[in-house]
Each structure stands twice: as C-alpha cells, then as structure tokens.
Amino acid sequence: MTLQEYSYARERPSKLAASCLLLALLMKNLGGWTPTLEYYSGYCSQDLHPLVKRLNFLLTYQPRHKLTAVRRKYSHRVFFEVAKMTPIDMLKLEEKLKSC
C-alpha cells in the first residue's frame, strides 16, 4: 500500500520493512520488538514507533475503492487473508508501543 503513497518514498526500505513487521507482530498479538530483531534490523523499537503509527493510520483510513486488486489478492487464503484483518485502534496501538 505504501508504494502508492508518495510520502513513504523518502523512508528507507529497511526501516519501512521493520516497521511493517512490528505492526504485524502487534496486530497478531505475537509480542513486540525483541533484542534479536533489533540486532539484525539495526533499529530499536523507539525508532520505528512514528512509522508504525503512520502505517496503521494508512491501513485504517485507506479508501476502500483504492487498490481493489491488491485487496482482493491478499484476501485469499493463500496469503492468509491478511487484507481482511482489522487495523489496531490508534489508542490501543499507543499502549502496545509503550510496552514494547
């Protein structure tokens, strides 16, 4: 989804990937950012928090009529129906990020 948004073009791809991973971990309640992830990614959790919030905002407020082919593709069980997942409420995300 970020490929269609110009504001994400200035983000480092590694930081964007790490932020997406952290958001996915939080959405699935699989824990937070571990020392191993920090070591191999080069990013501490606090470095990723602003971008994680922006990504969650994008997921929450993305118009449904945009990117329908992508949404349809990732709604398939082959891709674990990730497009059907509901984003985290922004206040709950704030709480989860504080505990990371």
pLDDT confidence of residue 57: 93
43: left (phi over 0), alpha (psi -120 to 50) or beta: beta
At 64 the pLDDT is 67
User: Which residues, in sequence order, are CB contacts of 55 under 8 Å at separation 6+?
Assistant: 2, 19, 20, 23
- Total domains, the chain: 1
62: CB partners within 8 A, 6+ apart: 1
**Quick one: tokens of 26?**
């939080």
Domain hosting residue 31, numbered range? 2-99
pLDDT tens digits, one per residue of 7-63: 999 999 999 999 999 999 999 999 999 999 999 999 999 999 999 999 999 888 876
The CATH code of the domain that includes 24 is 1.10.472.10
